[in-house]
Amino acid sequence: MTPIIIQAVFAPAFLLMGLSHLVQPRLWVRFFDVVGKTGLAAAIIPIYTLPFALVLIVGHNVWVWDWPLFLTIAGWGMTIKCAMYLLVPGLTDRMLAKKMVKSPRTFQFAGAIMAFLGGMLTWQAWT
């Protein structure tokens, strides 16, 4: 797959997930609260995140100063985060215990950034 196809698929996903964080922040607070209570968050989060992260770094490893750089950085960031969650005992539980994960405002802030960047990349890939 070419980087533009990866962008055309992942950009709308970032847009929709960002909008979801923005308009339903309490849903995300509850989601991570429930995941944290399972005692398996260090496995659950990487199970879903790592495959997408690897697709981004393999299919969109483009280090050019332009809007799509966000996808490359996001892919590497998610990959590193997943590796740390899988390999550092207790890290995931410590991260989920922080106040900012329990604040709807934090999810709205992150969602606004994700939606903006996802929107810009979607427009760029789809026009």
pLDDT at site 1: 77
Cite the beta strand spans of 3-119 per DSSP E.
none
Determine the Cα–Cα distance for residues 38 and 44; give it in Å rounded to an integer: 9
Number of domains in the chain: 1
Q: Quick check: pTM over 0.75?
A: yes
Q: Per-residue pLDDT tens, the chain, 127 aa: give them.
A: 799 999 999 999 999 999 999 999 999 999 999 999 999 999 999 999 999 999 999 999 999 999 999 999 999 999 999 999 999 999 999 999 998 889 999 999 999 999 999 999 999 999 9
DSSP class of residue 67 equals T
Determine the Cα–Cα distance for residues 112 and 5; give it in Å rounded to an integer: 24
pLDDT at site 30: 97
Radius of gyration of the chain (CA): 15
pLDDT at site 96: 94
Determine the Cα–Cα distance for residues 29 and 96; give it in Å rounded to an integer: 10
pLDDT at site 100: 85
Determine the Cα–Cα distance for residues 3 and 10; give it in Å rounded to an integer: 10
pLDDT at site 54: 97
What's the domain range around 90? 3-126
pLDDT at site 83: 98
